[in-house]
């Protein structure tokens, strides 16, 4: 079995945590590979020289059966790691070394037990819907897939208009800061901050969430994930840009995009004692009495 490590160099890593991570991998008897940005950090902080054949770049080559990607950081780290897979059906485990961590639900303490769970085959996986976006990109994106959301946003002082259709039926023209198309996984990310609903990951739906709409009666809309969403952007005096998860691209006025559920799901590895509702309750601090 092989561990595909991914982390970002800008995170506040420590020599102790990196040493614990590699020692846990060694004790579990795993082979490993890690991304080229993380390798110098490992060498500098922990004194571990990683052989060149164990380092991968922007795109991950095909890996042995039974491999698992382990993203060490926060949710942004996991999203970036997922894009390195390029649609490969490897389970992805997020170890939370960040803050909120809806996707990186595994704690960073107890790594030995975590890798023992992987080695014994007790690690459960959950399929998570991704979306595929096609349209008028200013340049070819590194990936057309998104796990959390696709968003169209203004870039300037003036509002933009996004004419939105679902299966060729007009939903609305969103006048304001833009609109988000979110997966159930992404419902606890940008869409949530825009007033969208929390959606359980097993739901087969997508969410349209307007961003600061000029019409205050506009609300998020939940639609089947079998739908095809078409968005036409109108920006008279303001630039606009789009984001696929944590990647952004400028776009011109008159751009159009189509969003569909991707054929490629992501399989999120989840420790057996951590559920979505546990994570939701703990991260959102629901049920905590703040009156005292």
Domain locations in the chain? 2-128+265-284, 131-261
The three-state DSSP-derived secondary structure of the chain is: CEEEEECCCCCCCCHHHHHHHHHHHHHHCCEEEEECCCHHHHHHHHCCCCCHHHEECCCCCCCCCCCEEEEEECHHHHHHHHHHCCCCCCEEEEEECCCCCCCCCEECCCHHHHHHHHHCCCCEEEEECCEEEEECCCCCCCCCEECCEEEEEEECCCCEEEEEEECCEEEEEEEECEEEEECCHHHHCHHHHCCCCCCCCCCCEEEEEEECCCCCCCCCEEEECCCCEEEEEECCCCEEEEEECCEEEEECCCCEEEEEECCCCEEEEECCCCCHHHHHHHHHCCCCCCCC
> Which of 90-99, 152-161, 175-184 has maximum average pLDDT?
175-184
Residues 222-233, mean pLDDT to the nearest whole number: 98
Whether the pLDDT of residue 214 is over 90: the answer is yes
Annotation marks residue 75 as catalytic: yes
Residue 145 φ then ψ, to 5°: -100, 150
Residues in the chain: 292
Residues 149-162, mean pLDDT to the nearest whole number: 93
37 within 8 A of 13, measured Cβ to Cβ: no
Residues 206-229, mean pLDDT to the nearest whole number: 96
What is the tens place of the pLDDT at every residue in 251-265? 988 999 999 999 988
User: Mean pLDDT across the chain, nearest whole number?
Assistant: 89
Looking at domain 2-128+265-284, its CATH architecture is 3-Layer(aba) Sandwich (3.40)
Whether the pLDDT of residue 199 is over 90: the answer is yes
Residues 32-39, mean pLDDT to the nearest whole number: 94
What is the tens place of the pLDDT at every residue in 233-291? 998 776 899 999 989 999 988 999 999 999 988 999 887 777 888 888 887 888 777 77
Q: What percent of the chain has pLDDT over 70?
A: 96
Residues 138-159, mean pLDDT to the nearest whole number: 90
- Reading the block at residue 264, the tokens are 């490629």
Q: Which of 31, 49, 75, 167 is catalytic?
A: 75
pLDDT band at 12, cuts 50/70/90?
Answer: confident
What is the tens place of the pLDDT at every residue in 133-144? 999 987 788 889
174 within 8 A of 209, measured Cβ to Cβ: no
Q: Measured between alpha carbons, how far is 32 from 69 in angstroms, rounded to an integer?
A: 10
Residue 101 has what pLDDT? Answer: 67
Q: Measured between alpha carbons, how far is 123 from 214 in angstroms, rounded to an integer?
A: 46
Looking at domain 131-261, its CATH architecture is Sandwich (2.60)
């Amino acid at each position: 079995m092989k561990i595909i490590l991914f982390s970002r160099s800008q995170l506040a890593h420590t020599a102790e945590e990196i040493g614990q991570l590699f020692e846990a991998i060694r004790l579990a008897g795993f082979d490993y590979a890690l991304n080229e940005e993380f390798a110098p950090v490992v060498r500098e902080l922990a004194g571990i020289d990683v052989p060149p054949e164990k380092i991968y770049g922007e795109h991950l080559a095909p890996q042995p059966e039974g491999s698992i990607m382990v993203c060490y950081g926060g949710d942004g780290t996991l999203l970036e790691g997922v894009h390195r897979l390029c649609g490969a059906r490897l389970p992805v485990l997020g170890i939370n070394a960040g803050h909120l961590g809806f996707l990186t639900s595994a704690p960073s303490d107890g790594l030995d037990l975590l890798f023992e769970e992987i080695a014994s085959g007790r690690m459960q996986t959950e399929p998570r819907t991704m979306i595929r976006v096609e349209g008028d990109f200013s340049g070819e994106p590194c990936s057309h897939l998104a796990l959390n959301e696709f968003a169209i946003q203004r870039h300037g002082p003036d509002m933009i208009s996004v004419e939105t259709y679902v299966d060729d039926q007009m939903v609305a023209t969103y006048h304001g800061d833009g609109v988000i198309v979110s997966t159930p996984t992404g419902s606890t990310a940008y869409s949530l901050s825009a007033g969208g609903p929390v959606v359980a990951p097993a739901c087969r739906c997508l969410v349209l969430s307007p961003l600061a709409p000029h019409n205050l009666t506009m609300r998020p809309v939940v639609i089947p994930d079998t739908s095809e969403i078409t968005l036409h952007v109108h920006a008279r005096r303001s630039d606009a840009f789009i984001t696929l998860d944590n990647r952004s691209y400028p776009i011109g006025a008159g751009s159009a995009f189509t969003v569909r559920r991707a054929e490629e799901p992501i399989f999120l590895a989840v420790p057996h004692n951590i559920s979505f509702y546990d994570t939701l309750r703990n991260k959102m601090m629901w049920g905590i009495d703040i009156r005292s």
